[in-house]
């Protein structure tokens, strides 16, 4: 065990949990109508709790057990055989488990943004739990757990390069979000503006800080690679924030706060798969392009399709993660066949498995709330609470 590595990953674990609670919850909560903000908080918090238990029970074993190249097996169900003395590299294995658990929390939580304001709470929990076990955990094994897409797998000595989750986290969550939004249908109040841009900014700022643990921690050591990952993450986020609002100004004559911080998230998602491999100048390029690319995909989906991806999860996270994964090959830091092949294989599995899970869960519990509940808001109708009681 290396004490410096252990201390850094202990910190990174807290930072990544901070991304979901409270960062993502506030970011998403500020973007919805005021009568739905508590439901967003509820979704994020409940998912964090449920994924933690499922990761303990089976998720970690599926991802990092001692099985073959497709799944990890059952060797580590409920952390069987893992003691305080067990090591993964230079880290206590129990810490590695906890760090990876925070990724298993935030990945299905990202999907929340696609279905807010109209989804059934039972569906949220059932789908998120099954999706993490059936889609997310196996993909982790394929790329990070020594599976068939890793080094020495089907793409030869150099496998898929995905440092912190461009494919594992952002592509999978983005595609699943698009499918759930398609199955739900559009909201009745689709054009309602964000009720609290201030919350959006606060949540985005928390995500930015937490992302240092997300990307920097993925080095799994306190070393120069971790420091570079944090630095390029910051540069990409800053560049994408400015390119997003600059493009807004060119197109609409004004730059918005929500646009500025959405650009931040686009830059963070885009640098994620490349953060352990690129330098500052390459991160600057990724960020500048990401701010414009993701914005244009947002416009394309909103205006050219009937899919109501409420908070643009696919356009920002999905497209950002895919773009960053491709840029690893563009800069000559990864194998073109592995990068594109990994995107295609994971994308196909995510689409097929996610659609099947949507249909299964919808047959067990209502997918969408009724019109009256949607109109009155989920906070009071479903959860019996209000975020804002102006009469008290």
pLDDT in tens, 209-248: 999 999 999 999 999 999 999 999 999 999 999 999 999 9
How far is CA 25 from each of CA 213, 232, 309, 356, rounded to the nearest angstrom?
Answer: 18, 25, 17, 27
Q: What are the structure tokens assigned to 84, written together? A: 């305080």
Output phi, psi for 153, to 5 deg: -90, -145
Please give the angle made by the CA atoms of 209, 56 and 61, to the nearest 5 degrees.
Answer: 105
What end-to-end distance do the CA atoms of the chain give, in Å? 54
| Chain mean pLDDT for the chain | 97
For 26-78, the pLDDT digits (tens) are 999 999 999 999 999 999 999 999 999 999 999 999 999 987 789 999 999 99
Q: What are the structure tokens assigned to 151, written together? A: 């080094």
Separation of alpha carbons 295 and 228, rounded Å: 27
Instruction: Determine the distance from the C-alpha atom of residue 12 to the mean position of all C-alpha atoms in its chain, rounded to a whole number.
Output: 16
Q: What are the structure tokens assigned to 139, written together? A: 């993909």
Percent of the chain past pLDDT 70, that is, above it, reads: 100
Give the per-residue pLDDT at 31.
98
Q: Where are the beta strands (DSSP E) in the chain?
A: 87-88, 91-92
Instruction: Determine the distance from the C-alpha atom of residue 97 to the mean position of all C-alpha atoms in its chain, rounded to a whole number.
Output: 18
Q: Which of 362, 376, 372, 387 is nearest to 120 (CA)?
A: 362
């Amino acid at each position: 065990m290396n004490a410096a590595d252990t201390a850094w990953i202990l910190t990174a674990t807290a930072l990544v949990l901070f991304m979901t609670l409270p960062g993502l919850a506030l970011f998403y909560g500020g973007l919805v109508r005021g009568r739905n903000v508590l439901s967003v908080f509820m979704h994020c918090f409940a998912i964090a709790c449920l994924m933690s238990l499922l990761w303990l029970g089976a998720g970690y074993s599926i991802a990092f057990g001692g099985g073959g190249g497709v799944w990890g097996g059952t060797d580590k169900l409920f952390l069987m055989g893992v003691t305080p003395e067990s090591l993964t590299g230079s880290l206590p294995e129990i810490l590695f488990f906890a760090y990876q658990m925070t990724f298993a929390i935030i990945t299905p939580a990202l999907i929340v943004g696609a279905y807010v304001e109209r989804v059934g709470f039972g569906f949220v929990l059932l789908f998120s739990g099954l999706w993490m076990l059936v889609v997310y955990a196996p993909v982790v094994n394929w790329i990070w757990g020594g599976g068939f897409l890793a080094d020495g797998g089907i793409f030869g000595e150099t496998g898929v390069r995905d440092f912190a989750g461009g494919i594992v986290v952002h592509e999978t969550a983005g595609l699943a979000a698009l499918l759930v939004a398609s199955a739900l249908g559009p909201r009745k109040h689709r054009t309602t503006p964000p009720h609290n841009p201030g919350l959006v900014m606060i949540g985005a700022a928390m995500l930015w800080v937490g992302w240092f643990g997300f990307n920097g921690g993925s080095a799994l050591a306190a070393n120069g690679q971790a420091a570079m990952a944090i630095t390029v993450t910051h540069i990409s986020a800053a560049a994408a924030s400015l390119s997003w609002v600059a493009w807004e100004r060119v197109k609409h004559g004004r730059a918005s706060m929500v646009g500025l911080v959405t650009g931040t998230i686009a830059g963070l998602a885009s640098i994620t798969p490349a953060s352990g491999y690129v330098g500052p100048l390459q991160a600057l390029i990724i960020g500048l392009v990401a701010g414009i690319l993701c914005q244009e995909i947002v416009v394309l989906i909103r205006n050219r399709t009937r899919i109501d991806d409420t908070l643009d999860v696919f356009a920002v996270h999905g497209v950002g993660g895919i773009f960053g994964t491709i840029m690893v090959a563009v800069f000559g830091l990864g194998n073109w066949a592995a990068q594109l092949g990994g995107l295609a294989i994971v994308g196909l599995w995510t689409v097929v498995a996610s659609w099947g899970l949507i249909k299964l869960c919808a047959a067990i519990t209502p997918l969408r709330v009724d019109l009256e509940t949607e109109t009155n808001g989920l906070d009071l109708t479903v959860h019996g609470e209000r975020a804002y009681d102006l009469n008290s």
